[in-house]
Amino acid sequence: MGGEVPEPRKLSRALSLGCGCGGVPEEALHLVFGYLDDPRDREAASLVCRRWHRIDALSRKHVTVGFCYAVEPARLLARFPRLESLALKGKPRASMYGLIPDDWGAYAAPWLAQLAAPLECLKAVHLRRMTVTDEDVGVLVRARGHMLQVLKLDKCSGFSTDALRLVARSCRSLRTLFLEECAVTDKGSEWLHELAVNNSVLVTLNFYMTDLNVEPADLELLANNCKSLISLKMSDLDLSDLIGFFQTSKSLQEFAGGAFSEVGEYTKYEKVKFPPRLCLLGGLTFMGKNEMPFIFPYSAILKKLDLQYTFLTTEDHCQLISKCPNLLVLEVRNVIGDRGLEVIAATCKKLRRLRIERGADDDSGQEEQGEVSQLGLTAIAVGCRQLEYIAAYVSDITNGALESIGTFCKNLYDFRLVLLDKQKEITDLPLDNGVRALLRNCTKLRRFALYLRPGGLSDVGLGYIGLYSGNIQYMLLGNVGESDNGLIQFAMGCANLRKLELRSCCFSERALAVAVLQMPSLRYIWVQGYRASQTGQDLLLMARPYWNIEFVPPSPEIANRMMADGQPCVDTHAQVLAYYSLAGRRPDCPQWLVTLHPA
Amino acid sequence: MMGRGGEEEQGAVAAVAQAGRAPARDKSGFAATCSLLSQYIRDNKAGLQGLGGLAMATAGAFRPPTTMNLLSALDAPAEPPAAAEPKDKDHDQRVDGNPREAAAGDETQQLTIFYAGKVVVFDKFPSTKVKDLLQVANAGGDGVDRASAPAAPSLPTPSQNSLPDLPIARRNSLHRFLAKRKDRITAKAPYQVINNSSAGAEASKHAAAGAGVEKPWLGLGQQVTVKQEI
């Protein structure tokens, strides 16, 4: 049955027998390893015997380090000397929501310093949510610049356009430059000019969601020089300034960014014409009803559409989406409403990914009230059966809607649901049975997020998540459960859970620690908002070798407030991050953070 | 440019009309009027706070938990409105929404109040409420204060264990967009002087971000000045 614990991925030692002198020749093993891509298959193979371990180490081309403090750079790079591509993740995901201070850490310097001499094959570097300085980029460029084909600085901060100029001048083989949502100090647009002048092989350029100002002429020059440019995602330049660029870049398939900075002036945008192959579209900041027809000629070929940053109303969404039958990816705000979701369900039969973000929730009336509920989600479940990813902020929800998703969306890989807190009465809580049905039926689910409100999921429901989430590797839970007992029941399942985030839950510190010890695959847990002690002493229950515990103490104001049962209150400041690390305690903790370790 | 002015104003009016669609509450006429006044003060105050928050948000991505949801200032009137304290900002302030009672069948007119150097305009103010308002005004400012304090709705506390649950966090990218949108809409609203805190915050925000060049939506403020002169 679905959702239950799968067989552990483990290879027998017996496989190595016969591999000796007269066995399978080394070359053959190398060839076979060449077909192993899944990192978990690689992991299993590398544990068979020393020989397999060595062959894996020499043939591994890509490594993702899920958390930059989990291992020392030198150790990792010494093991995989022929690495071609390295991805590193830094700050907790919560930093994407403004919940992590800038000085938290995740400095790229120790890593980039190691990427120099020994790694002769390295040509792709991807840093996510890390602090990167101009000097760091300089070190990387000097060591690997001539080889570098992919540089992704993804939601990073700490560098300036000087670093980009250096990259533009030195990395002539660069195919991908990715800077999405980086906080870059803007010292002028020369970097783009240099990139356009020096590079002729660029395929992807992304500075979406940055504040970087660029010159339209440089974009045009880039399009002229890089005939292979397929994807441009950029900051909010006015779309009327991009007419020349669009005319020039004939191969462009993806565009995101740009803005209709003068809404109502649609005559100004009449001449904007997308390149013929464009099928992935987003940004278009401030696009309103008047500008929307500008998309119509392309709507039938669109595969991806991101309307999160537009001014469209529910009605506009309905009109536009009804013309987009080939969408695979759609991102919107909840202004789309249940009516909009019904149009999606009727139109977009191939849809794979759907994200429904949260709009403004103040009463200033800037936005048409569009709310998404069980009605819309049910329609989606019935209508879009190819969905692999659903993330939705809903205003109301029922068990039935979750059951529908379980019944129809068999390909679901990633499901995230946040119940907004504005509406007082929710039709059908707790969601225990709906969650159970969804988890049992969506057997391909690997990532799961559920953020409700007190009363949204009982301890029984939390137990169901543990029981039926056997394949799930990442989970975020907020405002779920009623007591410590629920958390423990949950933790008894979760056989493959590697990363867990909890927020705003009523659990005690002791229960958290005990729960962590129950989850065999857990390697990373982040918690904000729980019943914290002043010193975090109960967290030491989970202390063990290689397990780092970092604690942000509760706020002093709330320190002495107790619940009726004598437990401390849930404290919104208290934060815990605990993770496995081969590197020991990290040396760069900010002062407000306490590392806990047994005396 | 000027020719389009009418259209933009219409858009702004539509936005204001939408703002009026707040849920109606059952209240006595007197209480309702008081809450209208207190809401104006609250909105005004919240608007200023919100802008302060924006400037802070661009200084660094981190928003400390206590002010994590920058919009909470608008939602949670936890602190009693300081009615008698005019803000030191000497500008007119357009109040976007208020007319909770506007849905009632009685005749409505536009109401304009000059108070402490500010101009407040209510679209569709019910004529029956005007009497109440005058009564309140005659009673003196102190009366308003005291009467309005109890009218402020108290925050619903989560029933279960009365746990103080955290505000649902918002993605940085969306947070920035909503802030930009808010600036844009504020800038487009009529009855506003260009050199107000909104534009100031916008300017300082760009300075903080090191952007150097003006964003296009700043330009809208200038159109507003022209309108002001008309």
pLDDT digits (tens, 9 = 90+) for A186-237: 999 999 999 999 999 999 999 999 999 999 999 999 999 999 999 999 999 9
* pLDDT at position A58 over 90: yes
Nearest CA in chain B to A104: B62
* pLDDT at position A73 over 70: yes
Give the closest-approach CA distance of B73 to chain A in angstroms.
Answer: 9
Which amino acid appears at position B168 of this protein? Answer: I
Contact assignment for A94 to B168 by CB distance below 8 Å: no
Contact assignment for A506 to B213 by CB distance below 8 Å: no
- Burial bucket for residue B190 (CB in 10 Å: 0-12, 13-18, 19+): middle
Write down the mean pLDDT value for chain B: 46
DSSP string covering B124-179: EEEHHHHHHHHHHHHH-HHHHHHHHHHHSPPPPPPSGGG--PPPPP--HHHHHHHH
Residues of B in contact with A572 (CB under 8 A): 65-66, 164, 166
Residues of B in contact with A481 (CB under 8 A): none
Residues of B in contact with A134 (CB under 8 A): none
pLDDT, position A266: 60
Strands (E), chain B: 108-115, 118-126
Write down the mean pLDDT value for chain A: 91
Band of residue A114 on the pLDDT scale cut at 50, 70, 90: confident
* Residue B215 DSSP one-character state: P
Distances (CA, A) of B74 to A61, A348, B48, B81: 52, 37, 10, 12
pLDDT, position A453: 93
Contact assignment for A361 to B169 by CB distance below 8 Å: no
**Closest among A211, A207, B47 to A219, alpha carbons compared:** A207
pLDDT, position A567: 61
* pLDDT over 70 percentage in chain A: 91
Of B99 and A193, the structure prediction assigns the larger pLDDT to: A193
Among B97, B174, B217, the residue with its CB nearest the CB of A358 is: B174
For the question of an ipTM over 0.90, the answer is: no
Q: What is the pLDDT of residues B154-207, one digit of tens each?
A: 323 333 443 446 888 899 999 999 888 888 877 766 554 444 333 333 333 333
Residues 59-78 of B with CB under 8 A from A: 60-66, 68, 71, 74-75
Among A360, A365, A506, the residue with its CB nearest the CB of B21 is: A365
Residues of A in contact with B160 (CB under 8 A): 454-455, 482, 506
Residues of B in contact with A563 (CB under 8 A): 161
Q: What is the pLDDT of residues A275-319, one digit of tens each?
A: 999 999 999 999 999 889 989 999 999 999 999 999 999 999 999
The count of C-alpha atoms lying within 13 angstroms of the C-alpha of A238, restricted to the half-sphere facing its C-beta, is 16
Contact assignment for B65 to A96 by CB distance below 8 Å: no
Measured distance CA(A516)–CA(A492) in Å, rounded:
10
Q: What is the pLDDT of residues A314-337, one digit of tens each?
A: 999 999 999 999 999 999 999 999
Among B15, B66, B164, the residue with its CB nearest the CB of A366 is: B15
Give the angle subtended at the CA of A218 by the CAs of A217 and A222, to the nearest 5°: 120
Give the closest-approach CA distance of B133 to chain A in angstroms.
Answer: 23
Q: What is the pLDDT of residues A128-138, one digit of tens each?
A: 999 999 999 99
Residues of A in contact with B95 (CB under 8 A): none
Cis peptide bond prior to A430, omega within 30° of 0: yes
Measured distance CA(A413)–CA(A398) in Å, rounded:
21
For residues A134 and A163, the answer to whether their CB atoms sit within 8 Å is yes
Give the closest-approach CA distance of B229 to chain A in angstroms.
Answer: 21
Contact assignment for B171 to A529 by CB distance below 8 Å: no
Q: Is B165 on the interface with A (CB under 8 A)?
A: yes
Which residue(s) pair with A62 in the sheet? A85
Among B8, B68, B74, the residue with its CB nearest the CB of A362 is: B74
pLDDT, position B186: 75
Residues of B in contact with A453 (CB under 8 A): 158, 165
Residues of A in contact with B53 (CB under 8 A): none
- Counting one residue from chain A and one from chain B, the pairs whose CB atoms sit within 8 A come to 161
pLDDT, position B192: 47
What's the predicted TM-score (pTM) here?
A: 0.75
Contact assignment for A365 to B165 by CB distance below 8 Å: no
- Burial bucket for residue B62 (CB in 10 Å: 0-12, 13-18, 19+): middle
Residues of B in contact with A185 (CB under 8 A): 210
Give the closest-approach CA distance of B165 to chain A in angstroms.
Answer: 6
Distances (CA, A) of A142 to A80, A136, A138, A169: 21, 10, 6, 11
Of A490 and B89, the structure prediction assigns the larger pLDDT to: A490
DSSP string covering A292-307: GGGGHHHHTT-SEEE-
Give the closest-approach CA distance of A119 to chain B in angstroms.
Answer: 34
Among A364, A451, A454, the residue with its CB nearest the CB of B168 is: A451
Among B97, B169, B177, the residue with its CB nearest the CB of A97 is: B169
pLDDT, position B69: 30
Residues 177-216 of B with CB under 8 A from A: 177-178, 180-182, 184-185, 209-213, 215-216
For residues A503 and A449, the answer to whether their CB atoms sit within 8 Å is no
Contact assignment for B19 to A363 by CB distance below 8 Å: yes
* pLDDT at position B14 over 60: no
* pLDDT at position A449 over 50: yes
Band of residue A533 on the pLDDT scale cut at 50, 70, 90: confident
Q: What does R_g of chain A's alpha carbons equal in angstroms?
A: 25
Q: What is the pLDDT of residues A7-54, one digit of tens each?
A: 666 777 667 665 554 567 888 888 889 898 888 889 999 998 899 999
Which candidate in A233, A363, A502 is best for mutational testing of the B interface (most B CBs within 10 A)?
A363
Among B68, B161, B177, the residue with its CB nearest the CB of A98 is: B68
Contact assignment for A364 to B21 by CB distance below 8 Å: no
Distances (CA, A) of A467 to A2, A211, A411, B158: 11, 45, 20, 28
Residues 107-146 of B with CB under 8 A from A: none
Q: Is B161 on the interface with A (CB under 8 A)?
A: yes
Nearest CA in chain A to B10: A264
Which amino acid appears at position B224 of this protein? Answer: V
Please report how the helices B127-139 and B29-59 are oriented relative to each other, as an axis angle in degrees rounded to 10. 80
Average pLDDT of the segment spanning A471-491: 96
Residues of A in contact with B177 (CB under 8 A): 285, 308-309
Q: What is the pLDDT of residues B44-85, one digit of tens each?
A: 544 434 333 333 333 344 444 332 333 323 333 333 333 334
Residues of A in contact with B68 (CB under 8 A): 98-99
Contact assignment for A360 to B71 by CB distance below 8 Å: yes
Average pLDDT of the segment spanning A245-254: 95
* pLDDT at position B147 over 60: no
Average pLDDT of the segment spanning A392-421: 96
Which candidate in A362, A557, A575 is best for mutational testing of the B interface (most B CBs within 10 A)?
A362
Q: First CA to last CA across chain A, in angstroms?
A: 46
* Residue B216 DSSP one-character state: G
Contact assignment for B174 to A308 by CB distance below 8 Å: yes
pLDDT, position B23: 37
Residues of B in contact with A309 (CB under 8 A): 177
Distances (CA, A) of A299 to A124, A278, A293, A323, A348: 34, 10, 10, 6, 12
* pLDDT at position A372 over 90: yes
Of A530 and B97, the structure prediction assigns the larger pLDDT to: A530
Give buried/exposed letters for A250-282 (b at 16+ CB in 10 A, else e).
ebbbbbbbbbbbbbbbbeebeebebbeebbbbb
Q: Is B8 on the interface with A (CB under 8 A)?
A: yes
Contact assignment for A454 to B170 by CB distance below 8 Å: no
Average pLDDT of the segment spanning B119-138: 64
